[in-house]
Amino acid sequence: MKQVVQNFRSGELKVEDVPAPIVRPGFVLVRNRHSLISSGTEGGTFKLGQMNLLQKAKARPEQVKKVINVVRTDGLLAAYKAVSRSLEIPIPFGYCCAGEVIQVGDGVTDLVPGQRVACGGAGWANHAEIVNVPRNLVVGLPDHVSTEQGAFTTLGSIAMQSVRVADARVGENVVVIGLGLVGLVAAQILKAAGCRIFGIDVDPQRVELARRLEICEGCDRGASNLELQVKAWSGGLGADSVLVTAPAPSNDPVALAGDLARYKGRVVVVGRTEMHAPRETYLFKELELCTSLAYGPGTGDPSYEEGGHDYPVGYVRWTENRNMQSFVELIAQGRLDLESITTHTFPIDEAERAFEMVTGRGAESPLAVLLEYESKSAPPARRISLTPRRVRSESDLGVGVIGAGSFATTSIVPILSKLDGIRLRGIASAHGLKARSLGEQYGFEVCVSDGGELIDDPEVHGVMILTRHDSHAPLTVRALEAGKDVFVEKPLAMSHGELEAVVKAAQRGSEAEQGGHLVQVGFNRRYAPLAIQLKRFYVGRAQPMSITFRSNVGFRPPEHWLHDPVQGGGVILGEAVHFVDFCHWLVEAPPIEVTTTSLDGEATGLINADNVHITLRFADGSVATIVYSSNGDPMAGRERVEVMAEGSLATLDDFRRLKTVCRGRSRTTRRLQDKGYRRQMKAMAESWRTGEPAVRLEESALSMLATLEAVASLESREPRMIDPGTIGL
């Protein structure tokens, strides 16, 4: 399918052929007919992409700070590689579109294939022939509302939310500063609500358009008597509310809004505008300065947008979806004139020309610019052939990579592409775009949106599962049943039942074939060079070990996907499992009991489950304490391991520095940070060639079981025994 993307390094915008997305539970698959280009948000991103690196850095100082933090924690080389690879990932454009439903996911019962709908959401409602959108960001279109009109729904709901924040009432005086798309639509909504509107813009043509369309009276910003005109228009009262919809690098719109508002009036800022309010004006007039966020309540809440959990109407009357519905209803009633502000429509193949025009590089000055898509009935293509870089050898092992997120991009695929004897058969991602990008960059043969196609591909010997956590166990079981070797990122499973299913699938494979099929879990730290040196330091020990593993990860907000109980499962399963396995590997004895306690600080903004102490007892008498903390400063170092046994002490800091002390003699080894990814990938490739496991599944499954019991201990506030029999070992 065709999709509009931009290469953020070069700034080039093009229409790419990518695999069509697959529908997810709670989502809706839509074939687009029209999409609206946002001159503000998308135009700004387009311009940013065309800047050089220095200009990008100046425009995005918050991103520069993130890079500096990576340099401090992971080193300059790691930061350089991360930035370079992120710049190569294409950026999808679009968040306003309309078309027909192709398919609905499980749990969606009120929409049907063939129904016309409007869709919203950055990253979902893209400029693409096919989009996969969460149900709460989709609304049905009445028969007499066209998809051209429906494509305005998301932008219209932004305007709608600003009107609601302004709490504009019938008969009130409302000034709209900025008569771009959002401003013109907001003015029409205000007019439909019975308000009196006065529009202001730096472009006199926009003011004249608003007058000509009988949307509102107005005046251009440069008029010397602007304030007098507004005073006269309002009968000497001033504006009850002022909507600022003008993107501006200065605080001029906000300062002007304060001058025009009446005593105790309200100023609502929408979009990218400097918000330094003049103290004297806002203080002595007791003005209320508000912001309006996107489409309304639900914006940025994964539980609402992706999880499909609606807010009760008695408590939240106007959510994102209900704002979208309300806007469509105004279109259906004929209260909005969208045709008159639609100045251009381009076929998707001419998207670059459309964006050039929107960003002011063409001769014309457009308002609303739509992209149009051909009407098709053929099933969407979810597989695209690419050009491999390597000469194929009969002995090479075909590899299918499922998942093309940041971890695959920065840590796995670059290493995999350099391994000898590996054939990059295919790569999959649910959105398709990232699979296409990584597939082209590293020379895969095909890219797909459905990972199941790679599992079923007879030319794939082994499958690498790099997706979000909830899919790890199901995909592993499916791959084993298809006769594939498997590399799966941690966690191996999200529950005891899933873990048992993986173990049994592997056992069935062993019974059916001599040796069976291999499962290797992405516990990379055991492959780190300094970790191996640490373990050798204690070879032949007779006494048990005392281990402290401190992980100082920094704060993650509650809405981070790792906290999602379905997709992420929490930080113990998603992150601390690494450290459980490391201690298990270091001790070389099975864990038999685990106790987990957390800090108790929810009232202070602490996420309790992100700040835990996990104590593991092992069969040889060793004890390991894992301190997983999000309330420290990660700049001071992320991971520190301290081991004591037989009168010696070893300290490993961030896999960069190992210090050992024995009988008063110390030794320190330093090297560039290496967490073992490269050695792990080599071990995987070798095990797939020989059929001998790099790490026995029983060992990894036991680490996973201990972690599951650690979660259970936190919930029950009691120690938990670790019984391998519960998962069939």
- The domain ranges of the chain are 2-152+338-372, 160-293, 383-521, 525-727
Query: Looking at domain 383-521, which CATH architecture does it have?
Result: 3-Layer(aba) Sandwich (3.40)
Buried b (16+ CB within 10 A) or exposed e, 42-61: bbbbbbbbbeeeeebeeeee
Can you give the pLDDT at residue 91? 86
Q: Which are the contacts of 510, defined by CB distance < 8 A and separation ≥ 6?
A: 516
Helix (H) or strand (E) holding 618: strand 612-618
Can you give the pLDDT at residue 119? 98
Which pair of tokens denotes residue 123? 């990253």
Query: Looking at domain 160-293, which CATH architecture does it have?
Result: 3-Layer(aba) Sandwich (3.40)
Up-side HSE of residue 6: CA atoms within 13 Å toward CB?
Answer: 24
Predicted TM-score of the model (pTM):
0.88
Can you give the pLDDT at residue 428? 97
Which pair of tokens denotes residue 667? 């030794």
Q: Which residue has the tokens 């500063």?
A: 177
Phi, psi of 199 (to 5 degrees): -105, 145
Helix axes of 320-332 and 181-192: crossing angle, nearest 10 degrees = 70
Can you give the pLDDT at residue 509? 75
User: What would the CATH number be for the domain defined by 2-152+338-372?
Assistant: 3.90.180.10
Up-side HSE of residue 325: CA atoms within 13 Å toward CB?
Answer: 10
Three-state secondary structure string covering 415-432: HHCCCCCEEEEEEECCCC
Write down how long the chain is.
729
Can you give the pLDDT at residue 179? 94
Can you give the pLDDT at residue 517? 84
Which CATH superfamily hosts domain 525-727? Dihydrodipicolinate Reductase; domain 2 (3.30.360.10)
DSSP state of 527: G
Task: Report the helix count and the strand count for the chain, using DSSP H and E.
Answer: 25, 32
Which pair of tokens denotes residue 428? 């999959």
Q: Which residue has the tokens 């700049």?
A: 635
DSSP state of 90: P
Can you give the pLDDT at residue 552? 94
Greatest distance between any 2 Cα atoms in the chain: 93
Q: Which are the contacts of 709, defined by CB distance < 8 A and separation ≥ 6?
A: 594, 720, 721, 722
Report how far residue 558's alpha carbon sits from residue 565's, in angstroms, rounded to the nearest whole number: 11
Query: Which region holds residue 178: left if phi is over 0, alpha if psi is between -120 and 50, else beta?
Result: left
Which pair of tokens denotes residue 197? 């509107």
Domains 2-152+338-372 and 160-293 share a fold: no
Residue among 402, 468, 399 at smallest CA distance from 435:
402
Can you give the pLDDT at residue 601? 82
Report how far residue 79's alpha carbon sits from residue 66's, in angstroms, rounded to the nearest whole number: 9
Can you give the pLDDT at residue 377? 73
Pairing of strands 173-177, 196-201: parallel
DSSP state of 136: G
Taking the chain (729 residues) in consecutive chunks of 10 residues, what is each chunk's mean pLDDT?
Answer: 86 90 95 90 65 60 61 62 67 93 96 97 94 97 96 96 96 96 96 97 93 94 94 96 92 96 96 89 96 92 92 96 97 95 94 85 74 85 88 87 91 93 95 91 95 96 96 96 96 97 89 71 97 96 96 90 90 96 98 96 87 97 97 89 96 97 94 95 95 94 98 96 93
Report how far residue 154's alpha carbon sits from residue 135's, in angstroms, rounded to the nearest whole number: 14
